[in-house]
Amino acid sequence: MTEVIQPEYSPQSAFIGLGSNVGDRLQNLATAVAALNSASVQVVRVSPVYETQYVGPHPASQPDYLNCVAQIRTLLDPRALLLRLHELEAAAGRSTCDRAGPRPLDADLLLYGNTTIESDGLVVPHPRMWDRA
State the fold for domain 13-132.
Alpha-Beta Plaits (3.30.70)
> Which pTM was predicted?
0.84
- Would you kindly state where each structural domain of the chain is located, as residue ranges? 13-132
Residue 66 Cα distances to 7, 8, 17, 23, 47, angstroms: 35, 34, 11, 11, 12
- Model pLDDT for residues 72-88, shown as the tens digit of each residue: 999 999 999 999 999 99
Most confident of 5-9, 19-23, 60-64: 19-23
CB-CB contact of 27 with 49 (8 Å): no
Q: Counting beta carbons within 10 angstroms of the beta carbon of residue 10, is it exposed (0 to 12), middle (13 to 18) or buried (19 or more)? A: exposed
Q: What is the pLDDT of residue 93?
A: 82
3-7, 26-30, 122-126: lowest mean pLDDT where?
A: 3-7
Find the mean pLDDT for residues 100-123. Answer: 85
Question: Which residues have a catalytic role annotated?
Answer: 94, 103, 106, 108
Q: Chain-wide mean pLDDT for the chain? A: 85
Selected residue with higher pLDDT from 28 and 59:
28
Q: How far apart are CA 129 and CA 63, in angstroms?
A: 20
In this structure, what DSSP letter does residue 90 have?
Answer: H
